[in-house]
Amino acid sequence: MSFNPSSKQRVQQQFGQNAEKYVSSEGHAQGSDLALAIELLHPTSADIMLDVATGGGHVAKTLAPFVQSVTVTDLTSMMLETARNHLTESGVKNAQYVLADAEELPFLKDSFDIVTCRIAAHHFPNPAAFIREVARVLRPNGRFLLIDNVAPDDPACSDFVNLVEAIRDPSHVKCLTVLQWQSLLEKQGFILAQSTARKKKFRFQSWLDRMAPTDAHRLAVSSMLLNAPRDFKSYFNIVIENGAVSSFETDEWIALAVKA
């Protein structure tokens, strides 16, 4: 199966232009899942860690004090440079920075004890290749922490949230369902050790402004949420105040998988 290379070019363009926003974004910098990552992974001073598609570098920053070293990667050079500046200014001294495609990781097999990927995989054109690469670079009994927005099982709700995301952010590819992620993990021999599905609340305007490229995109997304069918408004808890969208919720999955 082939994929249009422009999808990755769109990721590089979008995140290159908005790199600083991902360092300061409340949902990325302060999410409760960061503390949960420590609890789930039980990192030790002997662990060699890889953070895939680091974004603002928040997972690497959180776990760096607990591991021997962390290799921080991203597809976008400006994003990686911004993450490096953020981590360096935060006192992180055990990190290396590598420009890398999540679907073609430039590392030997069995190189890492921990691999993490947070709020990024919905930008990957080939998630099956990504999971295959994670399995390849992890050592036996290595731990993989995946955190991402996921789509509902209901096809209509799934199509709606993916369309909204794609209009807001042209680099968005697709949010998978939990069942789809579970299938990909199982095919690569992962054992799902723990997982949590939960709702994730967004302040609409800051979420919209972070990635929407034009006023037309902002207007289209606002219109979609304002005029969504009643069952969609209920599922995504779309809150409307004074004729404008105030907040909404999507699904998030936090999964710890172990390489057999």
Quick check: is 219 in a domain?
A: no
Quick check: is 37 in a domain?
A: yes
**Structural domain tally of the chain?**
1
Distance separating alpha carbons of residues 4 and 114, to the nearest angstrom: 30
Residues paired with 104 in a beta bridge: 101
- Give me the domain span that covers residue 90: 6-151+171-199+252-259
Quick check: is 27 in a domain?
A: yes
At 167 the pLDDT is: 96
At 210 the pLDDT is: 87
Quick check: is 207 in a domain?
A: no
DSSP letters spanning 176-243: PPHHHHHHHHHHTTEEEEEEEEEEEEEEHHHHHHHH--SHHHHHHHHHHHHT--HHHHHHTT-EEETT
Burial of residue 182 (number of CB atoms within 10 Å: 0-12, 13-18, 19+):
middle
* Cα→Cα distances 71→16, 63, 83, 86, 154, Å: 20, 11, 12, 15, 37
Residue 21 pLDDT > 50: no
Residue 87 pLDDT > 60: yes
Residues paired with 192 in a beta bridge: 257
Query: Cβ(58)–Cβ(28) under 8 Å?
Result: yes
User: Rounded mean pLDDT of 77-86?
Assistant: 93
User: Rounded mean pLDDT of 87-109?
Assistant: 97
Quick check: is 222 in a domain?
A: no
Quick check: is 183 in a domain?
A: yes
Quick check: is 247 in a domain?
A: no
Query: Which pLDDT band, with edges at 50, 70 and 90, does 2 fall under?
Result: very low
Distance separating alpha carbons of residues 59 and 63, to the nearest angstrom: 6
pLDDT digits (tens, 9 = 90+) for 189-199: 999 999 999 99
Comparing 19 with 43, the larger pLDDT belongs to 43
Distance separating alpha carbons of residues 91 and 136, to the nearest angstrom: 31
pLDDT digits (tens, 9 = 90+) for 189-248: 999 999 999 999 999 999 999 889 999 999 999 999 999 999 999 999 999 999 999 999
At 31 the pLDDT is: 73
Report the CATH number that the domain containing residue 11 is assigned in CATH.
3.40.50.150
At 24 the pLDDT is: 47
Distance separating alpha carbons of residues 15 and 99, to the nearest angstrom: 14
pLDDT digits (tens, 9 = 90+) for 154-167: 999 999 999 999 99
